[in-house]
Structure 1
Amino acid sequence: MIQPDPSFSIHLALPRRSWHLPLDDRLRAFSKRFCPTWLLYPFLALWCMAFILLIRQQYYVGNIGVISCDAAVWADWPPDTCGIDGFACLDQLEEGTYRCLGGCQGVPLGNPRWVGGVSVDGIPLVIGGNDSIYRADSWVCPSAIHAGLVSPTLGGVITVKPLPFIWGHSDFTSSKAHGIQSVGFEPKYPGAYRLVSAPLNGNLDLHPIISTVNALCLAIVTLFLRPSPPILFSILVVLGWFQLTLISDPASFPPDWGWVAGGIPLVLLTAYWAYRVAFQRTLTAFRDLPLDTTIWQGAGYWIGLESSTIFAKLPISRLGYGGLSADGVIALVLILIVVLIVVLIQAWQMRRYGLLQYYLIRYLPLAPILLILAFIPGYTLRIHHYLYCLAAIPVLSLPNRVSLFGQAFILGLFLDGVGRWGWASILQQTTSLIGDANTGTYVPFPLNTSTITDISWEPITQNLTEMGYTGVAVMVDDILRAIVNSSSE
């Protein structure tokens, strides 16, 4: 069997004496003497118990409801949701205490949104705050970070105190505080609120703590207890699935246990295929190199699992169904360069082992298939990152450190994809990908006879009527003021 290159060792040479310390040999001797095989199972049991207790503390201690990072007092988007003068959202404008998790500082708007005459995109929606008053459609948790009431990393608890409706507030002044830039808005807005701190009572976000505990336990298992390749891979899959669906990127708060349990069978089936295709060869080759396995595999694994947090600020989330900014283009180019380097290294190694032709024959037919799918009308080819992972696993099966790091990263990224979003289709309707973005619907054209108090527009034509347009909604200062069912004014 092909073996990887020699591992870490320390060599110290002096004029009359030298020392050579092969670290992996010493680790193997230590684990053989002090860490017998049976010790793995009680350690896994204690690890599992600690994980359960931490999950209980995270979600089921206390009665304060957890809200998402983009939750607002007024969920008024599309902008006509709150009805005339905002009265439809009046019931939402009430005092309440909420718990914010960490990481909300890096959750941006996915599409441009107008705040007065300013188009806001790529940042959390926080309006006002320089005088501690926020517009009602501001996201609560980023606003609390902006106000310095919760930690960007560990979250916290805040109380929302609304201002009297319909008086609201005006002159929402923009400012930058605690890493968040708020947006200004001068006109009067009927909904507004203040934020005040509330007792924590143990309601901090334990995501960093749980991730640290799991990373340390995995390192101990890999470095000292040294399970066989099948057991180590099983630990990686099971740990990764529960880490993703419960802590790193859960689909809901608290977690939906039906979703968590329902996704396990197909993930385990896919994992079995991945082990037979790639992981078995690489993990077996590194069986006697625990330090390499711990460092290279551990680094790739946790970067993949925490990719939603680590790569949250990369401006490429709309890749495939929207334009990229200049920063997005730069980020994409850098990613492609890294991928190209990995591909060249693996291709060279495959050529050495006589495997290059084997993989080329199996991968080249994918190109025309993807080309055909890309031209289906009304649909967008959406290659989700779990699909990239499935395609990359077979070529990361070599006994080298690139494969050891890469396959662990790919495993974490794969679990992140299916654990958060499920098995999304490679083809999706283009309209479903737009979300709440501007779809280019009809906007009436004002006539020259319009004045400050009277507005007239071109009549709605028969063609527009057949398309479903029956009237015009009039927005003034981001509030719906009138719905006119007549055709011109």
Structure 2
Amino acid sequence: MNLSIPRFTRLRRLVRLILGPSTPTPDDEIPSPSTPLTSSSTLPNHRACTTFPDKGVYRLATSCRLHYALIPVLLLWATANVLLIREQYFAPSSPQTIGCTDSLWSDWPPDACGLNGTDCDVALNGEGGGRYRCLGGCTYSPLGNPRWVGGSEVNRRPLVIGGGDGPTYRADSWICASAIHAGQISPTLGGCVDVNYVFASSTSNLLGGWSNGILSAPFLPSFPGSYTLSPSSGPGCWDIHPFISAFNALMLFLTTVFLLPSPAVLLGTLIILGWGQIQLVSNPRYVPPFWEYIFAGLPPALLGGYWFYRVAFKRSLEGFRELPVELALWQGLGYWIGIESSTIFARLPLSGRIGYDGIPPDGKGVLAVLILIVAFIAVLQAWDLRKYGMLQYYIVRYIWLVPVLVVLSQIPGYTLRIHHWFYPMLAIPVLSLPNRVSIFGQAIMLGLFLDGIGRWGWAGIIQQTASLLGDANSGSYIPDVSFANSTLTMLSWLATPRNLTRLGITGVQVVVDDVLRLANHTATNVTLAQVGLGDGGGIEHFFRLAYMANDTSLDFTDPIVRLVNGSYAFAKP
């Protein structure tokens, strides 16, 4: 061992060996892909023939000067999309389009419909349901947080209650998911359905079960509202999302291959196409379209795209200028994965939010595979960055983000949220080489970027934790149930502590069988007679309690089940 060399010198040499050269290679010296796409075939005389599609297509496009048709084709393409969007949302005689989570009655919080459900019932008495149009994909629009239906916890699936013995559903069931469950509309193409609200009556003995890919929850007690479904047809019912996506994918491929748009024009086309596709087709934030939001959000998206062009797309696309087929294939595949990411990932068991309700058990394997794929791609790209002296360049510019993110994650009352727009802005600069990994990866990232800002806007990377709860429990105080003081006909709880009354708590909301029966109740017990249950009717009933503070209900307890024998117990998830 040579002891004359200090240890830190050896370490520095090792680091240099791993990180590669410290001076980036000039752009004009970075080679394009060395092995273009080939096609092999055998001629009748048994001689092998190898062709290069890119060379033939590029020679055809340049010799015929097809690029002169670029602007007319883009205008015709845009016109065709206008007609398709008109058919999607504004077809004559098309009924009202509703979202996947819309229902006749509010489904959250548990007391949303007021005392005895009259707030929701009054709002609907003048309508009685109607004819509605559902878009496709509602099978994959699940609850974001667990929800109790009687004594059953519903999670990671659409909220559908009933329908097990016919197309009758509880009034707070999601209409489109219920229509799929009943077989009235297509899970992929949606459709129209007639909703017939059952006025001022009590529905009971709603059975659940699997049907058409959706599991509905049963509910045996009486509930003051329900509806039935019947099929409907007519113009403007189908969701033509798959057809619009297929048309735009084909047009993008043909434009890239034969019209040879410049890198700037191609990226601009990708941004405008992607923004419109997300806002109007793949994952619209508003149905029908809210044009003010769409046009207000496009300039910031283009501004972000200009930065992407300067730091990545210009260099990588220039390397594929004479490889239009490869560019169309690699970039097109990545682009549509990113643009349709919400549709694709909704079909994977990854609906849980890491750090909140977690990844479902059957999704851990899928997540592991995705991580391995990303890691493999990252290693390939890091090797090429090292080869051209860019690994050190980017590490020096990215390393400072680590302490910044650590500090931001420690701010009390806030949660660090790495949004869709943030990690593409981190990834795209390092996906700037003229290689296939960059072309494929930056296209995915561009799609995710557009999807993120299109669905949620430029949300901050830190957000108040309370604002992220949605319909989850906030962790507030809840009444302390006393089974010892309860009887066959009475449920009791402990008196409100004095320190809580100083916080503005005035009483207790009593929900029985998912309907508010006593509002701002000041006693410490409730009898079956007070909530109209008589002797219980020989079935289980479900009580939920919540403190009332400043005219707002706090968190509700888990259901307290009154068993048939008159005893009480908390429901088990």
TM-score of the aligned structures, taking structure 1 as reference length: 0.96
Q: Residues 456-475 of structure 1: matches in 2 within 5 Å?
A: 456-475=492-511
8 Å CA contact retained: 1:72, 1:137: yes
Residues 1:454 and 2:487 are matched in the alignment: no
Summarize the Cα distance change of 1:109–1:316 in structure 2 as closer, same or farther, 3 Å threshold. Answer: closer
Instruction: Tell me the residue number matched to 2:475.
Output: 440
SS of alignment partner, residue 128 of structure 1? coil
Q: Name the CA distance, whole Å, in 2 between partners of 1:449 and 1:156.
A: 53
SS of alignment partner, residue 471 of structure 1? strand
Q: Name the CA distance, whole Å, in 1 between partners of 2:107 and 2:394.
A: 52
Q: Name the CA distance, whole Å, in 2 between partners of 1:429 and 1:487.
A: 36
Residues 1:8 and 2:37 are matched in the alignment: yes
Residues 1:370 and 2:405 are matched in the alignment: yes
Amino acid at match of 1:210: I
Summarize the Cα distance change of 1:101–1:316 in structure 2 as closer, same or farther, 3 Å threshold. Answer: closer
More strand by share: 2
- Match among 199, 202, 216 for residue 182 of structure 1: 216
Q: Name the CA distance, whole Å, in 1 between partners of 2:504 and 2:242.
A: 50
Amino acid at match of 1:172: L
Q: Name the CA distance, whole Å, in 2 between partners of 1:308 and 1:322.
A: 19
Summarize the Cα distance change of 1:26–1:450 in structure 2 as closer, same or farther, 3 Å threshold. Answer: same
Q: Name the CA distance, whole Å, in 1 between partners of 2:82 and 2:98.
A: 22
Q: Residues 323-472 of structure 1: matches in 2 within 5 Å?
A: 323-447=358-482, 448-472=484-508
Instruction: Tell me the residue number matched to 2:193.
Output: 158
SS of alignment partner, residue 485 of structure 2? coil
Q: Name the CA distance, whole Å, in 1 between partners of 2:523 and 2:501.
A: 10
1:93-139 deviation digits (Å, cap 9, x = unpaired): 42211110111011000000001111110001111102221011100
Q: How far apart are residue 316 of structure 1 and its match?
A: 4.4
Amino acid at match of 1:5: S
Larger radius of gyration: 2
Q: Give the number of equivalent residue pairs.
A: 488
SS of alignment partner, residue 518 of structure 2? strand
Q: How far apart are residue 12 of structure 1 and its match?
A: 4.1
1:259-300 deviation digits (Å, cap 9, x = unpaired): 111111111111111001000111100111111111100000
Instruction: Tell me the residue number matched to 1:214.
Output: 248
- Match among 77, 81, 89 for residue 112 of structure 2: 81
- Match among 232, 249, 262 for residue 266 of structure 2: 232
Unaligned runs of 5+ in 2: 1-27, 526-573
Amino acid at match of 1:473: Q
8 Å CA contact retained: 1:321, 1:430: no
Q: How far apart are residue 21 of structure 1 and its match?
A: 1.2
8 Å CA contact retained: 2:510, 2:521: no
Q: Name the CA distance, whole Å, in 2 between partners of 1:12 and 1:308.
A: 39
- Match among 254, 264, 279 for residue 245 of structure 1: 279
Q: Which stretch of structure 1 is more off in the superposition, 55-64 or 367-376? A: 55-64
8 Å CA contact retained: 2:508, 2:521: yes
- Match among 78, 83, 96 for residue 53 of structure 1: 83
8 Å CA contact retained: 1:40, 1:221: yes
Instruction: Tell me the residue number matched to 1:31.
Output: 61
Over the matched positions of the two proteins, sequence identity in percent amounts to 49
TM-score of the aligned structures, taking structure 2 as reference length: 0.83
More helix by share: 1
1:385-440 deviation digits (Å, cap 9, x = unpaired): 21011110111001110101000110011000001110000000111111101223
Summarize the Cα distance change of 1:211–1:459 in structure 2 as closer, same or farther, 3 Å threshold. Answer: same
Q: How far apart are residue 247 of structure 1 and its match?
A: 1.1
Amino acid at match of 1:88: D
Q: Name the CA distance, whole Å, in 1 between partners of 2:427 and 2:341.
A: 17
Amino acid at match of 1:281: R
Q: Name the CA distance, whole Å, in 1 between partners of 2:86 and 2:134.
A: 17
Q: Name the CA distance, whole Å, in 1 between partners of 2:47 and 2:192.
A: 62
Q: Residues 101-120 of structure 1: matches in 2 within 5 Å?
A: 101-120=135-154
Instruction: Tell me the residue number matched to 1:65.
Output: 96
